[in-house]
């Protein structure tokens, strides 16, 4: 289903991005990390994001995880438009809706070893 500006996602849509863009200002340069990303993920879908280094995976995860806000475009999480929320409102959403497992989980290793038989 094509999502258009002004639409609301269907109730079974957990994550929807519409023309999502993120630019980083680097001195006089602008880095276009994401240029208009459209994603729809439904309930119970299992999705992987793959791409070469620098293609914008972390930038996208930061936006989807409500750790960052887009330069432009829409992000809908569980039926709520979260792309234009304040930092405090995003913190509340992170607390309730989102789980993150970071790659650099070195602090977990000792814990796991201790508990191994």
Ligand X SMILES: Nc1ncnc2c1ncn2[C@@H]1O[C@H](COP(=O)(O)OP(=O)(O)OP(=O)(O)O)[C@@H](O)[C@H]1O
Please report, as ranges, the residues that interact with ligand X according to CB under 6 A: 24, 26, 31, 33, 51, 53-59
Our finding on whether 62 is near Mg ion (CB under 5 A) is: no
* Nearer CB in complex with ligand X: 24/100: 24
Q: Over the chain, what HEC string results?
A: CCCCCCCCCCCCEEEEEEEEEEEEEECCEEEEEEEEEEEEEECCCCCCCCCCCCCCHHHHHHHHCCCCCCCEEEEEECCEECCCCCHHHHHHHHHHHCCCCCCCCHHHHHHHHHHCC
Out of Mg ion, ligand X, none, what residue 6 binds, judged by CB under 5 to 8 A for its kind, is none
Query: How many residues in the shown chain lie near Mg ion by CB under 5 A?
Result: 2
d(CA 48, CA 25): 28
Closest approach, Cβ 31 to ligand X, in A, equals 4
Q: Give the binding range for Mg ion (CB under 5 A) out of 4-12, 25-33, 58-66, 102-110.
A: 58-66
Closest approach, Cβ 41 to ligand X, in A, equals 18
Q: With contact defined as beta carbons under 8 Å apart, do 66 and 98 qualify? A: yes
Residue from 39, 41, 58, 81 in contact with Mg ion (CB under 5 A): 58
Closest approach, Cβ 94 to Mg ion, in A, equals 19
List interacting residues with Mg ion (CB under 5 A).
57-58
């Amino acid at each position: 289903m094509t999502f258009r500006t002004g639409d609301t996602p269907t109730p079974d849509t957990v994550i929807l991005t519409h023309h999502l863009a993120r630019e980083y200002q680097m001195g006089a340069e602008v880095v276009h990390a994401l240029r208009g990303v459209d994603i729809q993920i439904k309930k119970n879908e299992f999705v992987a994001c793959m791409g070469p280094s620098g293609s914008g995976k972390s930038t996208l995860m930061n936006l989807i995880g409500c750790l960052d806000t887009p330069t432009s475009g829409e992000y809908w999480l569980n039926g709520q438009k979260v792309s234009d929320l304040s930092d405090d409102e995003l913190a509340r959403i992170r607390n309730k809706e989102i789980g993150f497992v970071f790659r650099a989980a070195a602090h977990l290793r000792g814990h796991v070893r201790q508990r191994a038989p």
